[in-house]
Amino acid sequence: MSTVALKNSEKSNKKLGMKAKTLIGQIILDFILLLLAATMILPFIYIMMVSFTDGSVYVSGDFILWPKKWSFDAYKLILNGSGFLNALKSTLFITGIGTPLNVIVNAGLGYMLSKPVPGKSFINKAVMFTMLFGAGMVPAYINISNLGLINSWFACILPAACGAWTIMVMKSFFMSIPDELEEAAKIDGCGPLRIFAIIVLPLSKAVIATFTLFALVSYWNTYFSAVMYITSSTKMPLQVYLQKIVLTSNISDVVDIQLELANTVPQEIMRMAAVIVVVLPVVCIYPFLQKYFAKGVMIGAVKG
Amino acid sequence: MSKRVPKNNAMQKNGMPKNGTNKSVGKRMYEYRYIYLLGIPGIVILILFNYLPMKGLLMAFENYNPHLGIMGSEWVGLKHFQTLFHDAKFYLMLRNTLVISGLSLLTFPAPIILALLMNEVRSLTYKKFVQTAVYLPHFLSWTIIVSLTFFLLSSEQGLVNKIAVELGNEPTSYLFSKVWIYPIIVIQSVWKGIGWGSIVYLAAIAGIDQGLFEAARIDGATKLQQITRITIPCILPTVVVMLILKMGTIISVDFEQVFLMNNALVKSKLEVFEIYIYNNSIATGSTQYSYSTAIGMFKSLVNTSLVILTNWITTRKGFEGVM
């Protein structure tokens, strides 16, 4: 009898121990992930707090998580300088024209390749080949220069407007749309362009949203193509502007304000404010589109 | 009439008799004219910006002179490639590229571990939060990430050095140190890519039959045993494919990152193909166009062979179903 009771209590102890163990494990796990997430989020909170700190209370050695005295001076200086306005204009042009163009062009070609058009397999191969082999930097540069696109924003937009991977993912998505829907519309007298616009595109919301996000972010982040192809400093996009502010010592030149004005705010605060200004749109848009891209990427991963 | 017959045969062979077997290719093309209209912008862009530049590859076999153009310049055959293979600089670039890629290959398990950890999180809200946080860096530009690194590590304004000075130590100039530059680059890449890289593994884990775990639980398997005996073996095909794909990019480094992290003191560690090409042709407007093109072409060819090879391996091993 007693041995059975002992065994039973042992068993329940063991069970309790197991439970405690899994609980501790769960806490440790959550903590590790919290640390990881913190490395992604804390830098921005820190930078934001510093950027809002008033220059008069800012001591270079302090670690600030809450400003002792708030101030928007750095932002005022940056947003009023013509350096920022020019850069913003460039980036808005590149992103504003580039994003819709990219999505329309890729969706169009993807849709074409999802239909049994004559010449499809050749075009398919030609698209895939661009994924395998690129001519390289110098030929691309000579090509842009031959096309007369040097110092034009279109040199940053057009080469990035069409991507093989995007086309292939879109193609496989369009192929998964049941033919019956399009057939029915056709019988109702819908032309192919209208079918594409009012049936296919609305059904592909997740994919379109995902690639809109990708295009948006990649155009917003345009950096090296601008360094290569844009020659006049007033046409440089935001990323180049930011790189100059953080990595050059002469901020007033880049921001394009008077030196005395720039000196009223410590360099570090100016730099961090610039980072926040450039990163903010991406950070703001991203959570809204997250539910779409998780889906879209899965499609890409499974079928691409 | 006699012309139409073979075309029809070819069409039937392709298995596309759907819209009228008796129509000629021309007629069918006319039928699809609006569909072509949708595809044409993309085709034009691909021709203009992906295929037209390939003409420029001829420069690698010439002494290119911008005034004479690609067709008019002097033909020198393989001279630049011969120079290339005797150039000590070339081997330095190759070494740097392989070291950087090799180090990033070492961090390959990081997203897998993250996916395994995230999969064990019970609370859905917490999981969403972690996912939102870890995917974010993927969308940040290298300019932002290098700026963050600067705020963290610069000798005067960097947080790490401020703390070091506070504690009475000398500041270290990490960003100008040949010892620190590789670790910094690797950490940056992991920080940027770990969350995004974990998505594909999370998808693979989500695809595992839940009955397996149920059975294991009934048999008294611990969580750790479930992970090592069920989860990992089940996602192994995905892991292998990703590893092979990663091997295919071993000749490429993230150019913008290296370009932005580069400075005079760490140059010898970060000089990779693209940096050399850029500095010796476009940046300086010098006359080394041809030699730079040859270097770029060498890199592209190696890259293409690696991609073809890795694709061949994945298909041959029967992993094509995974991707």
For the stretch A216-261, pLDDT in tens is: 999 999 999 999 999 998 999 999 999 988 877 667 777 776 666 6
Q: What is residue A125's predicted lDDT score, i.e. its pLDDT? A: 93
**Is pLDDT larger for residue B241 or for residue B114?**
B114
At B6 the pLDDT is 43
Of A131-145, A176-190, B7-21, which gets the smallest average pLDDT? B7-21
ipTM of the complex, rounded to two decimals: 0.86
pLDDT tier for residue A33 given thresholds of 50, 70 and 90: very high
Q: What is the pLDDT of residue B322?
A: 41
Contacts of A287 in chain B (CB under 8 A): 132
Q: What is the pLDDT of residue A70?
A: 83
Which pLDDT belongs to residue A12?
60
Q: What is the pLDDT of residue B249?
A: 84
- Residues B91-99: what's their mean pLDDT? 94
Asked if B281's CB is within 8 angstroms of A141's CB, the reply is yes
% of chain A surpassing 90 pLDDT: 40
Q: What is A73-303's CATH number, 3.50.50.60, 1.10.287.130, 3.20.20.70, 1.10.3720.10?
A: 1.10.3720.10
pLDDT of the residue at B110: 95
Q: Would you call B133 an interface residue with chain A, using a CB distance cutoff of 8 Å?
A: yes
| A105 phi/psi in degrees, rounded to 5 | -65, -45
Cα–Cα distance measured from residue B43 to residue A101, given in angstroms and rounded to the nearest whole number: 13
Query: How many angstroms away from the CA of B166 is the closest CA of chain A?
Result: 7
Q: Integer distance in angstroms from the first to the last C-alpha of chain B?
A: 46
Domains with residue ranges and CATH for chain B:
4-78 (no CATH), 81-316 (1.10.3720.10)
Identify the closest residue of chain B to A109 by CA–CA distance.
Answer: B39
pLDDT the model gives residue B53: 94
- Residue A149's pLDDT is 94
| Phi, psi torsion values for B280, nearest 5 degrees | -100, 0
Check residue A16 and give its pLDDT. Answer: 66
Residues of B in contact with A40 (CB under 8 A): 133-134, 136-137, 191, 195
- What DSSP letter does each residue of chain A carry, written as one string? -HHHHHHHHHHHHHHHHHHHHHHHHHHHHHHHHHHHHHHHHHHHHHHHHHHTB-GGG--TT---SS-SSB--HHHHHHHHSHHHHHHHHHHHHHHHHHHHHHHHHHHHHHHHHTTT-TTHHHHHHHHHHHHH----HHHHHHHHHHTT-TT-THHHHGGGS--HHHHHHHHHHHHTS-HHHHHHHHHTT--HHHHIIIIIHHHTHHHHHHHHHHHHHHHHT--HHHHHH--SGGG--HHHHHHHHHH-S-HHHHHTS-HHHHHTS-HHHHHHHHHHHHHHHHHHHHHHHHHHHHHHHHHHHHH-
Q: Per the structure block, which two tokens stand in for A193?
A: 């362009």
Question: Mean pLDDT throughout A105-134?
Answer: 92
Band of residue B3 on the pLDDT scale cut at 50, 70, 90:
very low
Q: Which of A13-17, A297-301, B54-58, B61-65 has the lowest mean pLDDT?
A: A297-301
Of A41, A115, A116, Cβ closest to residue B133: A41
Query: In chain A, what are the domain boundaries?
Result: 2-51, 73-303
Structure-block tokens of residue A109: 């070609």
Mutating which of A35, A97, A111, A142 best tests the B interface, going by the most B Cβ atoms within 10 A?
A142
Each residue's pLDDT tens digit, B6-19: 444 444 444 444 44
- The answer to whether B55 faces chain A, any CB pair under 8 Å, is yes
